[in-house]
């Protein structure tokens, strides 16, 4: 039987204030007080895993060990069937600007263009199936862990459309819809997203 969180403090293994706010809103109704790894001054571990599960566990375990508090981390990204599942765990890396290209940071238009260019090289009949994955990992200071995986399937479009999303959202059309994630109302997107799928599984098992 999977170990339950109960109520109390939970460290969200992130230095991103937006992600902390989003996750807190989902968990605080269940009695969890969410803190961020950033606010506790915890270092960010190197993500050396080759799967979303491995990287989520690396982050959750590092946070739990350093803080002594139960921790939750997520790892997510987009996979393209015709590219053998890439960019996958390297989703954010494909958007990294090199120093010689200007200020360091992420250029998502460049990343979307890279995906489109690789698909174009495969010819006009290349399948455009893609999916977003999200893995949520909970780690306890004593070494226990639990993992929840979410996914949303869709296809890629070009050129990018919409301004409401982030990352690869402007080129991703979820199955059964005609609008990209970046054209959908954020509430509508979040209701069907890979993160929502993973959280629904977490809440059902942990608080159901």
Domains with residue ranges and CATH for the chain: 8-207 (3.90.950.10)
What's residue 100's pLDDT?
Answer: 45
Phi/psi region, residue 23 (left: phi>0; alpha: psi -120 to 50; beta: rest), is alpha
What's residue 50's pLDDT?
Answer: 93
Angstrom distance (rounded) from CA 62 to CA 13 = 8
DSSP H or E segment with residue 24 = helix 17-27
Assigned token pair, 163: 């301004």
Assigned token pair, 69: 């508090």
Instruction: Please report, in tens digits, the pLDDT of each residue of the chain (208 residues total).
Output: 678 887 789 999 998 887 888 888 888 889 899 999 999 999 999 999 999 999 999 999 999 999 999 999 999 999 999 999 999 999 988 988 754 455 567 899 999 999 999 999 999 999 999 999 999 999 999 999 999 999 999 999 999 999 998 889 999 999 999 999 999 998 899 889 999 999 999 999 998 8
What's residue 133's pLDDT?
Answer: 97
Q: Nearest to residue 111, comparing CAs of 39, 177, 169?
A: 169
What's residue 86's pLDDT?
Answer: 95
Close Cβ partners of 99 (under 8 Å, ≥ 6 residues apart): none
Angstrom distance (rounded) from CA 201 to CA 108 = 29
**What's the alpha-carbon Rg for the chain, to the nearest Å?**
18
168 is in an annotated binding site: yes
Catalytic residues: 75
Assigned token pair, 18: 């937006």
Q: Nearest to residue 90, comparing CAs of 47, 120, 124, 152?
A: 47
What's residue 7's pLDDT?
Answer: 76
What's residue 99's pLDDT?
Answer: 45
What's residue 2's pLDDT?
Answer: 74
Angstrom distance (rounded) from CA 149 to CA 143 = 20
For 30, 65, 164, 191, the CA distances from 203, given in Å and listed in that order, are: 9, 23, 27, 14
167 is in an annotated binding site: yes
Per-residue pLDDT tens digits for 67-91: 999 999 999 999 999 999 999 999 9
Angstrom distance (rounded) from CA 158 to CA 114 = 12
Contact, 156 vs 60, CB < 8 A?
A: no
200 is in an annotated binding site: no
201 is in an annotated binding site: no
63 is in an annotated binding site: no
Q: Give the end-to-end CA distance of the chain in Å, rounded to a whole number.
A: 13
91 is in an annotated binding site: no
């Amino acid at each position: 039987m999977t170990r339950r969180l109960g109520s109390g403090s939970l460290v969200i293994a992130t230095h991103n204030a937006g992600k902390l706010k989003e996750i807190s809103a989902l968990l605080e109704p269940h009695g969890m007080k969410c803190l961020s790894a950033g606010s506790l001054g915890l270092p960010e571990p190197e993500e050396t895993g080759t799967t979303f599960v491995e990287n989520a566990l690396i982050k959750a375990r590092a946070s739990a060990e350093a803080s002594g508090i139960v921790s939750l981390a997520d790892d997510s990204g987009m996979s393209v069937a015709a590219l053998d599942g890439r960019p996958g765990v390297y989703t954010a890396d494909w958007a990294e600007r090199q120093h010689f290209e200007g200020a360091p940071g992420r250029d998502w238009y460049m990343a979307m263009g890279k995906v489109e260019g690789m698909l174009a090289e495969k010819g006009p009949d290349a399948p455009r199936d893609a999916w977003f994955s999200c893995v949520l990992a909970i780690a306890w200071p004593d070494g226990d862990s639990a993992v929840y995986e979410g996914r949303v399937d869709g296809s890629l479009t070009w050129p990018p459309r919409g301004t409401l999303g982030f990352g690869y959202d402007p080129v991703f059309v979820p199955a059964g819809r005609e609008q990209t994630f970046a054209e959908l109302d954020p509430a509508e997107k979040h209701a069907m997203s890979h993160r929502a799928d993973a959280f629904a599984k977490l809440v059902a098992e942990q608080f159901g």
